[in-house]
Amino acid sequence: EVSLVESGGGLVQPGGSLRLSCAASGFTFINYAMSWVRQPPGRGLEWVSVISGPGGTTSYADSVKGRLTISRDNSKNTLSLQMNSLRAEDTATYYCVKDIGYGSWGRGTLVIVSS
Amino acid sequence: EIVLTQSPATLSLSPGERATLSCRASQSVSNYLAWYQQKPGQAPRLLIYEASYRATGIPARFSGSGSGTDFTLTISSLEPEDFGVYYCQQRGNWPVTFGQGTRLEIK
């Protein structure tokens, strides 16, 4: 059974940094592109970033380009999101998603950017 | 980027009734459209992929149709547990985009 478990969320001040992780199990991790999707409290869904299975190709939403960096460690079945220069508008639940449009979602981790 | 417009914004129906949710794309996404259900405090759950294929474990009362720019999610006979917000999502043209959601309320 596919399992995706996010961690690393919390309260951070504007301009600060945070690193999210997603532990994956139940499937051959390297075979699938992985995405991060976020959802501000009480609002809709926004795709953030995607990384190819081997990890050589990445893409970002314009709203996070240059501030957030996606990466993966296929030896540890782990997906990461390094978040720098955080803004209030980055406040959201961040979901780890397997093969978006086809696969499973994690339960999410909440990031709050506030002073 | 492709804009997905969902209608109606809110739907209020009784158990046993048929629900029809619409998703319209600003340009063709072929059949690369998915539907999700989200309940409060939970992650979205994949219902339909590639416009018309039910995801694993999804009841047969859920069906999807359409291609190009116009898509429909139909729930043939509503159950009380079908309340929630329904989102469409396309991956036919990157970046991936989502509709704004349809809230389904059960009377």
Residuewise pLDDT in 10s, chain B (107 residues): 999 999 999 999 999 999 999 999 999 999 999 999 999 999 999 999 999 999 999 999 999 999 999 999 999 999 999 999 999 999 999 899 999 999 999 88
User: How far apart are the CA of B23 and the nearest CA of chain A, in angstroms?
Assistant: 15
Q: Minimal Cα distance from A39: which residue of B?
A: B43
Residue A106: its pLDDT value, please? 97
Q: Minimal Cα distance from B41: which residue of A?
A: A107
Contacts of B64 in chain A (CB under 8 A): none
- Residue B46: Cβ within 10 Å count: 24
CA distances from A3 to A25, A78, B18, B71 (A): 5, 12, 33, 30
Residue B107: its pLDDT value, please? 84
3-state class percentages of chain B: helix first, strand second, coil last, to nearest 5? 5, 50, 45
Q: Minimal Cα distance from B97: which residue of A?
A: A47
Question: Which of A61, A101, A108 is facing B91, going by the closest CB pair?
Answer: A101
Question: What average pLDDT does this structure show over A18-35?
Answer: 97
In angstroms, the CA A5 to CA A108 distance is 7
In angstroms, the CA B49 to CA B62 distance is 12
Contact B43 A108 (CB under 8 A): yes
Tell me the three-class secondary structure of chain A, residue by residue. CCEEEEECCEEECCCCCEEEEEEEECCCHHHCCEEEEEECCCCCCEEEEEECCCCCCEEECCCCCCCEEEEEECCCCEEEEEECCCCHHHCEEEEEEECCCCCCECCCEEEEECC
Question: What average pLDDT does this structure show over A12-40?
Answer: 97
Counted residue by residue, chain A has a size of 115
pLDDT, one tens digit per residue, over A56-85 is 999 999 999 999 999 999 999 999 999 999
Q: Is A58 within 8 Å of chain B by CB?
A: no
CA distances from A23 to A28, A98, B107 (A): 13, 11, 39
Question: Which of B43, B49, B95 is facing A101, going by the closest CB pair?
Answer: B49
User: How far apart are the CA of A27 and the nearest CA of chain B, in angstroms?
Assistant: 15
In angstroms, the CA A39 to CA A79 distance is 18
**Mean pLDDT score across all residues of chain A:** 96
Contacts of A102 in chain B (CB under 8 A): 34, 46, 49
User: How far apart are the CA of B48 and the nearest CA of chain A, in angstroms?
Assistant: 8
- Is the alpha carbon torsion for A85, B41, A23, A55 positive or negative? negative
**Which residue is listed with tokens 């978006």?**
A100
Q: Which of B79, B2, B9 is nearest to B33 (CA)?
A: B2
In angstroms, the CA B69 to CA B95 distance is 16
Q: What is the percent of chain A with per-residue pLDDT over 90, rounded to a whole number?
A: 96
Contacts of B90 in chain A (CB under 8 A): 101
Question: Which of B45, B87, B96 is facing A100, going by the closest CB pair?
Answer: B96
